Structure 1
Amino acid sequence: MGSLDFYFDFSSPYGYFASTRINELAKRYNHRVDWHPFAGEAFKPSTTGTSLVQNPAKRDYTRKDYVRSAAFHQIPFKLPSVFPLETRIAARAVMWTESKFGEDKGIALAQAIFKAYYVEDKNIGDPQTLVAIGEALGLNGEELTQGINDSFTKEQVRAELDLATARGVFGSPFVLLDGEPFWGFDRLDQLEAALQAKSA
Structure 2
Amino acid sequence: MSDPIDFYFDFASPYGYFASLRIDALAAAHGRSVTWRPILLGAIFKVTGMKPNLEQPLRGEYLTHDVGRIARLTGAPFIFPDSAPVNGVAASRAFYWLTDAHPEQAKLLARALYHAHFGEGRNIGPADVVAEIAEQTLGSLGYDRSAVLAALGDQTVKDRLRGETEQAVARGVFGSPFVLVDEEPFWGWDRLDMLDRWLSSGGW
The normalised TM-score by structure 2 is 0.94
Counterpart Cα distance in 2 of 1:35 and 1:109: 11
Quote the residue 1:155 is aligned against: 159
Quote the residue 1:121 is aligned against: 121
1:104-124 deviation line (CA, Å, top 9, x unaligned) = 011000000000001112110
Counterpart Cα distance in 2 of 1:194 and 1:48: 30
Quote the residue 2:64 is aligned against: 63
Quote the residue 1:194 is aligned against: 198
| Ranges in structure 2 where 5+ consecutive residues have no aligned partner | none
What is the root-mean-square deviation of aligned Cα atoms in Å? Answer: 1.2
Q: 1:22 to 1:49 in 2, by over 3 A?
A: same
1:26 to partner: Cα distance: 0.4
Quote the residue 1:44 is aligned against: 45
1:30-51 deviation line (CA, Å, top 9, x unaligned) = 0000000112111122103443
Counterpart Cα distance in 1 of 2:172 and 2:50: 16
Q: 1:191 to 1:80 in 2, by over 3 A?
A: same
Task: Report runs of 4+ in structure 1 exceeding 4 Å deviation.
Answer: none
Identity %: 38
Quote the residue 2:94 is aligned against: 93
1:123-166 deviation line (CA, Å, top 9, x unaligned) = 10011111110111213221111111100000011110111010
Segment drifting more, 19-28 vs 35-44: 35-44
| Ranges in structure 1 where 5+ consecutive residues have no aligned partner | none
Counterpart Cα distance in 2 of 1:50 and 1:149: 27
Letter in 1 for 2:182: D
Q: 1:65 to 1:135 in 2, by over 3 A?
A: same
Q: 1:169 aligns with which of 170, 173, 185?
A: 173
The normalised TM-score by structure 1 is 0.95
Counterpart Cα distance in 2 of 1:161 and 1:80: 24
1:83-123 deviation line (CA, Å, top 9, x unaligned) = 11211111001110113x32101100000000000111211
Number of equivalent positions: 198
